[in-house]
Amino acid sequence: MFQVTPIPAFNDNYIWALQAPGSTHIAVVDPGDAAPVEQYLQQNGLSLAAILITHHHADHTGGVAQLVANRSIPVFGGHQSSFEGVTQLLSQGDTVDLLGLQLKITEVPGHTLDHISYYQPTGNGQLFCGDTLFLAGCGRLFEGTPAQMLAAMQYFRNLPGSTEIYCTHEYSLANLAFAQAVEPDNTAIAQSIINCQQRRADNLPTLPSTIAAELQINPFMRTNTPDVIAAAARFNTSQGDETVIFTAIREWKNQF
């Protein structure tokens, strides 16, 4: 597995640094700002070997130009990306060999149409999912459709439960507040709130989460469960298919 270290950026972004054990080379995921990455490299005597981009938004790509200015390194990203800094275009089912490990590419449009995720299957498994899946949440639908985002959630559901989830924002407590509104009697959500509050009080990230945890607490991963279906009934959609249920819960979150 990669050794994964969060590099905080802006107000609530995480740039993930990926390092193979014993290596002095790293890759970074979604470097919206170059300065904290350069500082991390200098402080730890590391060199940058690659950049992974999940989607084109500026808070995920804004540091790329500066980071590659004096380096000859690949910038991986989705084949539909409007970000011109991508040098290695990736599509559904592609693999990337990185620092001795392999990443599987899955297209997960919804938040944006170019969004991809990177999955490393060895050990517990590691998922780098940008703004698609969050702890207890999912990304807003800026470009894609509810059906596309639901398809992404269904892909994530089928990953091994031990898979570690590395999303790129510290949204956990806000997401958990909504999850508890959807399922007020869900004890796993209540416990996750306590755990995340303690981590934030200690100035620690609430991430990574795991697929197993999300299957217990994340309403967008639970749109096939009776409690979430019942919660969607306030929108008169409880008899709809899962896409209708997902759409109702996502609209509720938009207004929460």
Reply yes or no on whether 115 is catalytic: no
> If we measure between CA atoms, which residue out of 206, 211, 212, 218 comes closest to residue 6?
206
Q: Could you say which of 30, 33, 56, 111 is catalytic?
A: 111
> If we measure between CA atoms, which residue out of 64, 143, 73, 75 comes closest to residue 108?
143
CA distance linking residue 165 with residue 163, whole number of Å: 6
Reply yes or no on whether 59 is catalytic: yes
Reply yes or no on whether 55 is catalytic: yes
Q: Could you say which of 30, 33, 114, 131 is catalytic?
A: 131
Q: Could you say which of 30, 56, 57, 115 is catalytic?
A: 57
Q: Could you say which of 56, 114, 115, 169 is catalytic?
A: 169
Reply yes or no on whether 25 is catalytic: no
Burial 160-187 (b: 16+ CB within 10 A, else e): eeebbbbbbbbbbbbbbebbbebbeebe
> If we measure between CA atoms, which residue out of 179, 119, 204 comes closest to residue 155?
119
Four-residue CA torsion sign, 63, 78, 134, 160: negative
CA distance linking residue 186 with residue 190, whole number of Å: 7
Q: Could you say which of 56, 60, 114, 115 is catalytic?
A: 60
Using an 8 Å Cβ cutoff, are 32 and 61 in contact? yes
Give every CB contact of residue 233 below 8 A, 6+ residues apart in sequence.
Answer: none
Reply yes or no on whether 57 is catalytic: yes
CA distance linking residue 167 with residue 172, whole number of Å: 10
Q: Could you say which of 55, 56, 114, 115 is catalytic?
A: 55
Q: Could you say which of 59, 115, 202, 227 is catalytic?
A: 59
- Residue 146 φ then ψ, to 5°: -55, -40
Reply yes or no on whether 79 is catalytic: no
* 3-state class (DSSP) for residue 227: helix
Q: Which residues carry out catalysis? A: 55, 57, 59-60, 111, 131, 169
